[in-house]
């Protein structure tokens, strides 16, 4: 794999762990460094600060917590991921409060390690880029300056300031890529809980069988393979904010347990007997209408009312087009630094395309589009550099593609149903063609879940692998 230049320092007194993690990091394209103890690690950091640190808590002479404090004291700019063979609650809470980015428990899943390190690097890179941006962009400090200056964003910022001062639970509604987590973080950082952790969990990205384990944590021996106690996200966010992204994907069974925890402000580890108190603020986000989900029975009404103490809706980018050019220029500045380019701006035709595109992926789609354009362009971004296709809009023209429709033999309802299937088939085929058969990406474009796209592919007769008609 191509090296990305990020240097990851692994600090552990066990040589086997250092070797295993070093190989894992190298395999993922990082440059792995290692140290057998805390003092060696501090000497290496003083000489050249790594991009991220994976640090064991339990070590002889100087333990991981002391190393973490010294790193923060000398002002080394690197996120620290703590790891422990004990997964003790006190260790993890103390580490988070001392400035650790996150923690992982031994024995750990390699995928969890890589995901955590990548998240840490992403946040560090974003922070550093903002520090070195030109003066015009360097002043981006507020949510309004991050999202735009339209009237709708101004009202949104006003709502953020209002609700941040309270401890109300908040539901943030908005389409995929519109900036729900950005708003959630803004609420947290403007609140009295700002010095405590902000912990995010994507309810749609974790298998149902593991979700309660992620939320509540588990006791040693609670299930096969649970040979260590593990803290859940609820407790990791102690004193701070827990952000539940895509709350609509929370399984109905888990909803009841989560509601009980919120009402009683207490919970148990999975398989545990010790009652744990809960002091967190909950911010939830969903790209679907929770009212509709409660009506259909997919989401508990009592949980909805418990969460919905304050609702905010982020308008899609197509409804605030005055923000498009501001965001495009902001992303241009960031990508110039990120990609070591000096693209000056946009041609008139490129600006026209940006303004009139519907942006189904919202700000995230715009950012991705600008990144690609900056990579390809030399002086100005032109129409040819923008990877924007015409929006897929189903139309009655699709019905004309259904051959031999015996109109006289069917009712209007039956005719419409048959044409709906033809429309679905055409749209699914075109989107899968656009994503090269990637069903997960197609589901995100169509704003449906992964299970639904499989059901629809079967319904309209498109092979599961996304092959042709």
Distance CA 440, CA 426 (A): 18
Q: Please, which pLDDT band fits residue 206 given cuts at 50, 70 and 90?
A: confident
Give the pLDDT score at 285: 96
295: pLDDT strictly greater than 80: yes
Burial class (CB in 10 A: 0-12, 13-18, 19+), 1: exposed
435: pLDDT strictly greater than 90: no
Please determine whether the domains at 7-131 and 317-385 fall in the same fold group of CATH.
Answer: no
92: pLDDT strictly greater than 60: yes
* pTM exceeds cut of 0.75: no
Give the pLDDT score at 126: 65
Distance CA 11, CA 103 (A): 14
Alpha-carbon dihedral of residues 410, 416, 419, 421, nearest 10 degrees? -110
Give the pLDDT score at 90: 58
Q: Which residues pair with 97 in a beta bridge?
A: none
Please state which of the ranges 22-26, 29-33, 318-322, 405-409 shows the lowest mean pLDDT.
405-409
337-359 pLDDT, tens per residue?
888 899 999 998 888 889 888 89
CATH architecture of 396-460: Orthogonal Bundle (1.10)
Instruction: Please give the mean pLDDT across all residues of the chain.
Output: 82
CATH 3.40.50.300 at 154-313, yes or no: yes
User: Where are the chain's structural domains?
Assistant: 7-131, 154-313, 317-385, 396-460
Distance CA 177, CA 285 (A): 12
Topology of domain 317-385 in CATH is: Helicase, Ruva Protein; domain 3 (1.10.8)
Query: Which residues, other chains included, contact 136 with Cβ-Cβ below 8 Å and sequence gap of 6+?
Result: 333
Residue 342 CA to chain centroid, in angstroms? 29
Q: Please, which pLDDT band fits residue 469 given cuts at 50, 70 and 90?
A: very low
Q: Taking residues 138-164, what's their average pLDDT? A: 80
Taking CA 302 as the corner, what is the angle to CA 296 and CA 305, rounded to the nearest 5 degrees? 100
Distance CA 194, CA 128 (A): 20
CATH of domain 7-131: 3.40.50.2300
Residue 420 CA to chain centroid, in angstroms? 34
Q: Taking residues 110-138, what's their average pLDDT? A: 67
Pairing of strands 230-231, 102-105: unpaired
Q: Provide the 8-state DSSP code for 60.
A: S
């Amino acid at each position: 794999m191509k090296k990305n230049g990020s240097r990851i320092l692994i600090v552990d007194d066990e040589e086997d762990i250092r070797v295993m993690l070093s190989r894992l990091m190298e395999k993922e394209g990082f440059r792995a460094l290692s140290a057998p103890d805390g003092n060696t690690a501090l000497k290496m950091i003083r000489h050249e600060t790594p991009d991220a640190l994976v640090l064991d808590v339990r070590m002889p002479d100087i333990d991981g917590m002391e190393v973490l404090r010294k790193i923060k004291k000398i002002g080394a700019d690197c996120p620290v991921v703590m790891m422990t063979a004990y997964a003790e609650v006190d260790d993890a809470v103390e580490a988070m409060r001392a400035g650790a980015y996150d923690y992982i428990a031994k024995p750990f899943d390699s995928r969890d390690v890589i995901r955590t390190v990548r998240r840490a690097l992403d946040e560090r890179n974003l922070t550093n880029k903002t520090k070195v941006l030109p003066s015009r962009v360097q002043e981006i400090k507020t949510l309004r300056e991050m999202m735009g200056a339209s009237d709708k964003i101004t009202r949104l910022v006003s709502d953020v300031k209002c609700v941040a001062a309270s401890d109300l639970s908040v539901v943030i509604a908005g389409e995929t890529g519109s900036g729900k987590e950005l708003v959630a973080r803004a609420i947290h950082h403007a609140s009295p809980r700002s010095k405590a952790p902000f912990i995010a969990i994507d309810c749609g990205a974790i298998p149902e069988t593991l979700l309660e384990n992620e939320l509540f944590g588990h006791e040693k021996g609670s299930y096969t393979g649970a040979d260590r106690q593990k803290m859940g996200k609820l407790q990791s966010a102690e004193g701070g904010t827990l952000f539940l992204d895509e709350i609509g994907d929370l399984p109905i069974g888990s909803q009841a347990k989560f509601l009980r925890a919120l009402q009683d402000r207490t919970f148990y580890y999975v398989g545990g007997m010790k009652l744990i108190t809960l002091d967190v603020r909950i911010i939830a986000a969903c790209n679907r209408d929770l009212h509709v989900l409660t009506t259909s029975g997919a989401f508990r009404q009592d949980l909805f009312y418990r969460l919905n103490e304050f609702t905010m809706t982020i308008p899609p980018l197509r409804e605030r087009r005055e923000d498009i050019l501001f965001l495009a220029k902001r992303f241009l500045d960031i990508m110039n630094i990120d990609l070591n380019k000096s693209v000056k701006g946009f041609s008139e035709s490129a600006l026209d395309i940006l303004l009139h595109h519907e942006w189904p992926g919202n700000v995230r789609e715009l950012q991705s589009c600008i990144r690609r354009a900056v990579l390809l362009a030399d002086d100005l971004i032109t129409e040819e550099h923008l990877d924007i296709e015409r929006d897929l809009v189903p139309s009655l023209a699709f019905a004309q593609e259904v051959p031999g429709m015996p109109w006289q033999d069917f009712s209007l309802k039956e005719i419409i149903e048959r044409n709906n299937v033809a429309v679905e088939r055409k749209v699914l085929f075109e989107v899968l063609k656009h994503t090269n058969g990637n069903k997960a990406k197609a589901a995100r474009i169509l704003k449906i879940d992964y299970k639904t796209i499989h059901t629809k592919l079967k319904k309209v007769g498109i092979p599961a692998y996304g092959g042709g008609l």
